[in-house]
Chains A and B, each alone.
Chain A
Amino acid sequence: MIGRLRNSAAFWAAIGTVALLGFWEAFVRVRDVRKFVLLPPSEIGSTFLDNPGFYVDNIWVTARHLVVGLSIALVVSLAFGALLAAVRPLEHASQPLLVLILVTPWVAYISSIVLWLGRGTPSIVFLVAFVTVPAFVYATVGGMRSADPAARELFASIHASRWEVLWRLRLPSALPSLFTAARFNVGLGLAAAYFAEGAALSTDGLGEAGRRAVAFNEGSILWTTILCTAVLGILSQVAVLLLERSLLHWHASQRRTAR
Chain B
Amino acid sequence: MSSGHDDGIHAAGVSKRFGSVEALSPLDLSIAPGEIVTLLGPSGCGKTTLLRIVAGLEPLTSGTISVDGLTPVSARELKRFGLVPQSPALLPWRTVEANARLLQDINVDANPSPLPDVVELLDKVGLSEFRSSYPHELSGGMQQRVGLVRAFALGAPYLLMDEPFAALDEITRADMRHLLASLCEPINTGVLFVTHSLAEAVFLSDRVAVLSSRPGRIVGTVDVDLPRPRVPELEDDPAFFAIETELRRLLHSGAGR
Q: Shortest CB–CB separation between residue B144 and chain A, in angstroms?
A: 12
A150 and B86 contact, CB distance less than 8 A: yes
With A151-B89, A250-B92 in contact, is A160–B76 under 8 Å at CB?
Answer: no
B79 beta carbon closer than 8 Å to chain A: yes
Interface set, chain B 60-91, CB cutoff 8 A to A: 76-77, 79, 81, 83, 85-87, 89, 91
- Residues of chain A lying within 8 A (CB to CB) of residue B89: 148, 150-151, 153-154
Q: Shortest CB–CB separation between residue B135 and chain A, in angstroms?
A: 8
Q: Shortest CB–CB separation between residue A246 and chain B, in angstroms?
A: 12
Interface string of A155-167 (1 = CB under 8 A from B): 1111111001000
Select one of A158, A172, A259 contacting B136, CB under 8 A. Answer: A259
- Residues of chain B lying within 8 A (CB to CB) of residue A169: 91
B92 and A158 contact, CB distance less than 8 A: no
Q: Shortest CB–CB separation between residue A208 and chain B, in angstroms?
A: 42
Q: Shortest CB–CB separation between residue A259 and chain B, in angstroms?
A: 6
Interface string of A128-158 (1 = CB under 8 A from B): 0000000000000000000010110111111
Q: Shortest CB–CB separation between residue B52 and chain A, in angstroms?
A: 8
In terms of DSSP, what is the predominant structure of the interface of chain B? Answer: loop
- Residues of chain B lying within 8 A (CB to CB) of residue A160: 106-107
- Residues of chain A lying within 8 A (CB to CB) of residue B105: 168
Interface set, chain B 79-124, CB cutoff 8 A to A: 79, 81, 83, 85-87, 89, 91-93, 102-103, 105-107, 110
B93 and A158 contact, CB distance less than 8 A: no
Interface residue tally on B, bucketed by range: 20 to 34
With A148-B89, A150-B89, A168-B105 in contact, is A157–B136 under 8 Å at CB?
Answer: no
B57 and A172 contact, CB distance less than 8 A: no
Q: A114 CA to B81 CA in the complex, in Å? A: 58
Q: A259 CA to B105 CA in the complex, in Å? A: 28
- Residues of chain A lying within 8 A (CB to CB) of residue B87: 148, 150
B134 beta carbon closer than 8 Å to chain A: yes
A154 and B92 contact, CB distance less than 8 A: no
Q: A244 CA to B92 CA in the complex, in Å? A: 15
Select one of A158, A172, A251 contacting B81, CB under 8 A. Answer: A158
Select one of A148, A154, A161 contacting B83, CB under 8 A. Answer: A154
B55 beta carbon closer than 8 Å to chain A: yes
B154 beta carbon closer than 8 Å to chain A: yes
Q: A172 CA to B160 CA in the complex, in Å? A: 27
Interface residue tally on A, bucketed by range: 20 to 34
Total CB contacts across the A-B interface at under 8 A: 64
B85 and A172 contact, CB distance less than 8 A: no
Select one of B106, B110, B154 contacting A164, CB under 8 A. Answer: B106
Report the nearest B residue to A165, measured CB to CB. B106
- Residues of chain A lying within 8 A (CB to CB) of residue B91: 151, 168-169, 172
- Residues of chain B lying within 8 A (CB to CB) of residue A161: 107
A75 beta carbon closer than 8 Å to chain B: no
Q: A151 CA to B91 CA in the complex, in Å? A: 8
A153 and B83 contact, CB distance less than 8 A: yes
B55 and A157 contact, CB distance less than 8 A: yes
Q: Shortest CB–CB separation between residue B138 and chain A, in angstroms?
A: 10
A255 beta carbon closer than 8 Å to chain B: yes
- Residues of chain B lying within 8 A (CB to CB) of residue A155: 106
- Residues of chain B lying within 8 A (CB to CB) of residue A151: 89, 91
Q: A57 CA to B20 CA in the complex, in Å? A: 70
Q: A148 CA to B77 CA in the complex, in Å? A: 22
A164 and B85 contact, CB distance less than 8 A: no
- Residues of chain B lying within 8 A (CB to CB) of residue A159: 76-77, 79, 107, 110
With A151-B89, A154-B89 in contact, is A255–B154 under 8 Å at CB?
Answer: no
A252 beta carbon closer than 8 Å to chain B: yes
Q: A154 CA to B154 CA in the complex, in Å? A: 12
- Residues of chain A lying within 8 A (CB to CB) of residue B102: 154, 168
Given contact pairs A154-B89, A158-B107, A164-B107, a sample of 16 additional A-B residue pairs in the complex whose CB atoms are under 8 Å apart? A153-B57, A154-B102, A155-B106, A156-B76, A157-B57, A157-B160, A158-B79, A158-B103, A158-B106, A159-B107, A168-B91, A168-B106, A250-B92, A250-B134, A250-B135, A251-B92
Chain A contacts to B: CB under 8 angstroms: 148, 150-151, 153-161, 164, 168-169, 172, 175, 249-252, 255, 259
Which 5 pairs show the lowest CB-CB distances between chains A and B? A150-B89, A157-B83, A159-B77, A151-B89, A160-B106
* 10 residue pairs A–B, Cβ–Cβ below 8 Å: A154-B85, A156-B57, A157-B83, A158-B106, A160-B107, A164-B106, A164-B107, A168-B105, A168-B106, A175-B93
